[in-house]
Each structure stands twice: as C-alpha cells, then as structure tokens.
Amino acid sequence: MKGIVFTEFLELVEDKFGLEMVDNIINASNLDSGGVYTAVGTYSFSEMLQLLEHLSANTGISIDDLLLVYSEHFFSVLKDSYPGLLETYKDPIEMISSIENHIHVEVRKIYPDAELPTFEVVEKTENSLIVIYRSSRAMHHFGLGLMNKTFEHFNSTATIVLEKLKEDGTEVKFLINKD
Ligand code: HEM
C-alpha cells in the first residue's frame, strides 16, 4: 500500500482525534515501518489494517465507517494531486466506469507497485451503473466514499447499494443509481 494512504490517514486521525490518538494506535500496532511513513514509500497493508482496528477499538466507530470518512478526505487529495485525471470526465458514471480501464491504469504508471482493486462493469446506462469490486483488501467502503465524492464533484448525487458477493467483503457488487 502506498505511503500517501498512510500519511493522509494519520493526518486525518490527528485532525479529528488529536496527536495522542495517533501515538496510541501506532504504539498498539506491530509495525515494520515503526509508524514512520513517506508519501512515496510502500508499506504492508497489514499495517493499515492494524491502525484501523486500533482506531476502531478506541473510538467505537466501525472500520467500514472509518474507511468511508477517510475516503471522502482522500478524494480531495487525489483531486489536488492528479487534477488532469479528473478533468477528462464530465459525468460521474463515465468516470466510475473508467476506473479499471483508465484511472487506475494511469495510477499504475505512476506507482508500479500500487495495490489496486479491480472494478468489473456489469451493466451501464446513462443514469445507472452496476460494478463488481474485487480486492483482497476488502476496502469496499473506501470505494463507496470515493464514489459518493465523485458524484458530489459533478454536482450530482446517487443512491448506491452494496451487495456482498463474498462474506469477507473481497467481492462486492455496487448498484449505483443517479438520483
Ligand atoms: C486505491 C488512485 C479514483 C477506488 C487507490 C490508491 C491510489 C489510487 C494511489 C492506493 C494504492 C495503494 O495503496 O497501493 C486513484 C486516483 C483516482 C482514483 C488518482 C482518481 C483521480 C478512484 C475511484 C474509486 C477508486 C473514483 C471508486 C470506486 C479505489 C479503492 C482503492 C483505491 C477501493 C483501495 C485499494 C483496494 O480496495 O484494493 N486509488 N484512485 N479509486 N482506489 Fe483509486
């Protein structure tokens, strides 16, 4: 997992819960990095999972809800860091259906070692989209937050329903309907 995901995460934790919480969750985790991250480095996903688990235990907020809030913050980071990628699109459904064949393809050129999910487009109309998310990281709520923000970016909203195809969340169907 790329360092930028960790640095932005810890910054948000500090903003919302304070520096003491950052220290707490780092100290409670068993981290090869020692909790020191650089934006361009690459770290094991298990480090993110431990940080999330300890933050969840300390705050009583579920990991899914933490990922949802975090991804909404991460969207602005992506928007500021890669403005060109977003400018290609005029419509949220077009953009979300292009993650697999365009957006994440470009991301892989920048970070060859990025750990990205796959999104299979099952059905697409002008106002609706069905995609299947697959990733061993089961970060479907991170995807949900990015999708919500994508609609907001185009001054639009959508109703998005998640249907777990695998209990562990590694395969999830997203049913997206523009409001
Ligand atoms: C992960 C870039 C849009 C879904 C990532 C990561 C980067 C990235 C850098 C981290 C990879 C790693 O840690 O190794 C971008 C950029 C985007 C974009 C530059 C647009 C400009 C989206 C959108 C979605 C999405 C709109 C919504 C469906 C995800 C998910 C992950 C991820 C779910 C977490 C990894 C996983 O589930 O396996 N993306 N992304 N991305 N991205 Fe994107």
pLDDT category of residue 129 using cuts at 50, 70 and 90: very high
DSSP 101: I
Cα–ligand 1 centroid distance for 109 (angstroms): 13
Into how many domains does the chain fold? Answer: 2
What CA–CA distances, in Å, run from 35 to 32, 79, 139, 179?
8, 26, 21, 42
Atom of ligand 1 nearest to the CA of 45: 13
- Asked if 47 and 104 sit in the same domain, the reply is no
Separation of CA 59 and ligand 1 centre (Å): 25
84 and 161 share a domain?
yes
Per residue in 46-64, pLDDT (tens digit) is 999 999 999 999 999 999 9
Same-domain check for residues 8 and 73: no
ipTM of the complex: 0.92
Q: Do 72 and 150 reside in the same domain of the chain?
A: yes
Range of the structural domain that residue 94 is part of: 68-178
Query: Separation of 104 CA from ligand 1 center, angstroms?
Result: 7
- Indicate whether 145 and 127 sit together in one domain: yes
Same domain, 105 and 45: no
Say how many C-beta atoms besides its own lie within 10 A of residue 157's C-beta.
12
- Backbone torsion region of residue 138, taken as left when φ is above 0, otherwise alpha when ψ lies between -120 and 50, otherwise beta: left
Q: What does the alpha-carbon distance between residue 56 and residue 9 come to, in Å, rounded to a whole number?
A: 13
d(CA 166, CA 44): 23
Give the pLDDT confidence of 106-117 residue by residue, as tens digits.
Answer: 999 999 999 999
The pLDDT of residue 127 is above 90:
yes
Q: With CA atoms as reference, report the closest residue to 54 among 78, 30, 84.
A: 30
**Mean pLDDT, to the nearest integer, of 162-176?**
98
Q: Which of 74, 107, 111, 144 to mutate to test the pocket of ligand 1 (most atoms within 8 A of CB)?
A: 107
Q: Model confidence over 93-104: pLDDT tens digits?
A: 999 999 999 999
Residue 123 CA to residue 36 CA, distance in Å, equals 42
pLDDT, one tens digit per residue, over 17-38 is 999 999 999 999 999 999 999 9
Give strand ranges (E) for 31-178.
118-124, 128-134, 158-164, 171-178
Q: How far apart are CA 136 and CA 13, in angstroms?
A: 24
134 CB within 6 A, ligand 1:
no
Asked whether the predicted pLDDT for residue 90 surpasses 90, the reply is yes
Contact (CB, 8 A) for 96 and 150: yes
Whether 67 lines ligand 1, by a CB cut-off of 6 Å, is no
Nearest to 128 by CA among 165, 173, 68: 173
| Cβ of residue 117 lying under 6 Å from some atom of ligand 1 | yes
- Report the nearest-CA residue for atom 36 of ligand 1: 117
Q: Are residues 150 and 111 in the same domain?
A: yes
CATH code for the domain in which residue 153 is found: 3.90.1520.10
- pLDDT tier at 40 (50, 70, 90 boundaries)? confident
My answer on whether 47 and 72 are in the same domain is: no
Count other Cβ atoms within 10 Å, centred on residue 44: 13
Residue 95 and residue 17 in one domain: no
